[in-house]
């Protein structure tokens, strides 16, 4: 956590890691009598706003919930449209992300994604691996409970092989076996659209995260909304159970 002066936010406490549940695309479209698919298209634009806001504030880690493991139960037409948007966004933005010094990472069961998107994911990871301005982690086909199960299975395998005893398992070891092993825990979690739940996002990692719920629908999200959430974060007293 750092304290830096920002032209728009004043001297404020800047969270090192911000995670966002980008929700409300369907409702944004319904309000305009558009199809849900149009809402997702507009939602992609809001990602640019979030990136701009992170750049201005000096946020080092941004993690975006783009598609949950439960979202596979949506209509196939909507899933295909979302996959098309990911494909389009990854192809189109790869150079801009490199130029902006953004390192792109992924969490989730990406093996369920179409194979060409898996190829693009590999390309993005490799081409941005030396960037260090911002770490952008995209949660795609991500479910926190499945991630935790994966960590338990990995530890179980080590026990079976005789390389680990159950008493050696502690919180740090569990964290190191999650897909987020190389990320700090989120300081601030933002959910748009007015819903107030985690929907299976970063359950373990958010043990002491500050939550800010915004009524704005994700396609309407602007960098000012990020600044407002960061200001709210700055007013919180993080006690971590101590006095
Ligand atoms: C978030 O918007 C995007 C994804 C979950 C992929 P929604 O599609 O959930 O929009 P609402 O919640 O129906 O408005
Ligand atoms: C959470 O939103 C997943 C993403 C934003 C990618 P949902 O819209 O899927 O969550 P629920 O169904 O309202 O809990
Ligand atoms: Mg939703």
What is the Å distance from ligand 1's center to 24 Cα?
5
pTM for the full predicted model: 0.95
Residues 136, 1: Cα–Cα separation, whole Å? 17
* Ligand 1, CB cutoff 6 Å, lining residues: 22-27, 67, 71, 82, 193
pLDDT recorded at residue 95? 94
- The answer, yes or no, to whether residue 2 has pLDDT greater than 50, is no
Residue 2 β-bridge partners: 14
Establish whether residue 67 lines the binding site of ligand 2, counting it when its CB lies within 6 angstroms of any ligand atom.
Answer: yes
Question: What's the CA angle centered on 140, arms 191 and 157, to 5 degrees?
Answer: 115
CA-wise closest residue to 218 among 75, 79, 31, 56: 31
Residues 220, 24: Cα–Cα separation, whole Å? 9
Catalytic residue annotation: 23, 71
CA-wise closest residue to 230 among 16, 41, 7, 68: 16
Q: What is the pLDDT of residues 142-197, one digit of tens each?
A: 999 999 999 999 999 999 999 999 999 999 999 999 999 999 999 999 999 999 99
Confidence band of 11 (pLDDT split at 50, 70, 90)? low
Which protein residue's CA is at the shortest distance from atom 12 of ligand 1?
24
In our burial notation (b when 16+ CB lie closer than 10 A, e otherwise), range 36-68 reads bbbbbbbbbebbebbbebbbebebbbbbbbbbb
CB 64 within 8 A of CB 139: yes
What is the Å distance from ligand 3's center to 23 Cα?
5
Q: What DSSP character marks residue 171?
A: H
CB 18 within 8 A of CB 54: yes
CB 130 within 8 A of CB 164: no
pLDDT recorded at residue 9? 46
């Amino acid at each position: 956590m750092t304290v830096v002066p920002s032209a728009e936010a004043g001297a404020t406490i800047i969270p090192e890691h911000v995670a966002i549940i980008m929700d409300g695309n369907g409702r944004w479209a319904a309000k305009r009598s558009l199809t849900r698919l149009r809402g997702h298209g507009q939602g992609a634009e809001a990602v640019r706003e979030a990136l701009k806001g992170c750049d201005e504030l000096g946020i080092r880690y941004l993690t975006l919930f783009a598609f949950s493991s439960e979202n596979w139960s949506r209509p196939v037409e909507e899933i295909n449209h979302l996959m098309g948007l990911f494909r389009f966004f990854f192809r189109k933005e790869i150079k801009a992300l490199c130029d902006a010094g953004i390192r792109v990472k992924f969490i989730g069961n990406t093996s369920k994604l179409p194979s060409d998107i898996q190829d693009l994911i590999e390309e993005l990871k490799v081409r941005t691996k030396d960037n260090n301005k911002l770490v952008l982690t995209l949660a795609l086909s991500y479910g926190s409970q499945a991630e935790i199960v994966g960590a338990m299975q990995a530890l179980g395998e080590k026990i079976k092989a005789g390389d680990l005893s159950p008493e050696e398992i502690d919180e740090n070891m569990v964290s190191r076996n999650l897909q987020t092993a190389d990320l700090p825990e989120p300081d601030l979690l933002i959910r748009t659209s007015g819903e107030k739940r985690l929907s299976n996002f970063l359950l373990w990692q958010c043990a002491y995260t500050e939550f800010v719920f915004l009524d704005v629908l994700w396609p309407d999200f602007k960098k000012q909304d990020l600044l407002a959430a960061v200001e709210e974060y700055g007013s919180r007293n993080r006690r971590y159970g101590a006095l």
